[in-house]
Amino acid sequence: MEPIRIIPCLDVKDGRVVKGVHFVNLRDVKDPVEAAAEYEKEGADEIAFLDITATVEGRKTMVELAAKVKQQVRVPFIVGGGIKTTEDMDKLFQTGVDKVSINTAAVKNPPLIKDASAEYGQRVIVAIDAKGTENVNSGFEVVINGGRTLTGLDAVNWAGQVESLGATEILLTSMDADGTQDGYDLGLTRSVAEAVSIPVIASGGAGNLEHLYQAVTQGKAKAVLAASIFHFRQHTIREAKEYLQSKGIPVKL
């Protein structure tokens, strides 16, 4: 079994790390560059920066911030939000970004997944935000535009399409669980993980270390992304890794 990756997530708005619940009621948390440096020292395997309003506001994603982060940290980092073309990706890669994450653009223009994956391989992640509804067979519907728009797409079926188009990893967020700290949506995570052969990163709802363990063992995730428990110092990344290791889960210490 490959080591499970621990990925702190920094939602960014107006140049600051913020955190909300169900994608709304945002509150200011900290400076993103300082946070990245902190998390690197603690042993983060990767760091995710998500510009949570770029798509809605019609902006390009945060090239300047990415460049600043690259000057301060060496740990691989992911940037998502507002990425619409391979040209957008290229600009980010030129600043030193390791991976990019696409969501709304992938839904609106699925060939982008194929083109980007062909050009950049494992550097392209497809993010899927899902909400529980009765509109689709699996009970989980894809949402876009920062959680504002239901698409009618079945999240589990969409994950399969994403893989067939060449994606090598899925960042899966439960909109219902986001920010609640009540635990990951294990049903959603497991349904998607069992439908694809590529790694699934579980996101949305982590409130304690047991939740991380559940995402791996019950949800079958290959990586866990979390925000609140690290931002508000409930636990450090080191503590998370030691806990998982104590439960028999391989991690990089």
Question: Is position 174 within any domain?
Answer: yes
The residue length of the chain stands at 253
Instruction: Provide the domain count of the chain.
Output: 1
pLDDT for residue 56:
52
**In terms of Cα–Cα distance, which of 60, 9, 63 is closest to 39?**
9
Segment 204-220, tens digit of pLDDT: 999 999 999 999 999 99
In the residue annotation, 129 being an active-site residue is answered as: yes
In the residue annotation, 51 being an active-site residue is answered as: no
Over the chain, what HEC string results?
CCCCEEEEEEEEECCEEEEEECCEEEEEEECHHHHHHHHHHHCCCCEEEEECCHHHHCCCCCHHHHHHHHHHCCCCEEEECCCCCHHHHHHHHHHCCCEEEECHHHHHCCHHHHHHHHHHHHHEEEEEEEEECCCCCCCEEEEECCCCEEEEEEHHHHHHHHHHCCCCCEEEEECCCCCCCCCCCHHHHHHHHHHCCCCEEEECCCCCHHHHHHHHHCCCCCEEEECHHHHCCCCCHHHHHHHHHHCCCCCCC
pLDDT for residue 24:
54
pLDDT for residue 168:
95
Catalytic residue among 11, 45, 51, 88: 11
Question: Is position 236 within any domain?
Answer: yes
Residues in Cβ contact with 75 at an 8 Å cutoff, skipping those fewer than 6 apart: 36, 39, 40, 44, 45, 46, 47
Give me the mean pLDDT over the 68-82 stretch.
93
The residue range of the domain holding 238 is 5-246
CATH code of residue 215:
3.20.20.70
Question: 1 with 250: CB under 8 angstroms?
Answer: yes
Tokens of 159: 């994950």
Question: Is position 117 within any domain?
Answer: yes
Average pLDDT, the chain: 91
Checking DSSP bridges between strand 200-203 and strand 223-226, what pairing results, if any?
A: parallel
Question: Is position 251 within any domain?
Answer: no
Question: Is position 52 within any domain?
Answer: yes
Question: Is position 211 within any domain?
Answer: yes
Question: 52 with 62: CB under 8 angstroms?
Answer: no
Question: Is position 252 within any domain?
Answer: no
**In terms of Cα–Cα distance, which of 114, 105, 136, 124 is closest to 170?**
124
Catalytic residue among 45, 51, 88, 129: 129
Question: Is position 129 within any domain?
Answer: yes
Give me the mean pLDDT over the 97-122 stretch.
96
What phi and psi, each to the nearest 5 degrees, are found at residue 227?
-130, -70
Higher pLDDT, 116 or 228: 116
Segment 128-169, tens digit of pLDDT: 999 999 999 999 999 998 888 999 999 999 999 999 999 999
**In terms of Cα–Cα distance, which of 180, 239, 247 is closest to 217?**
247
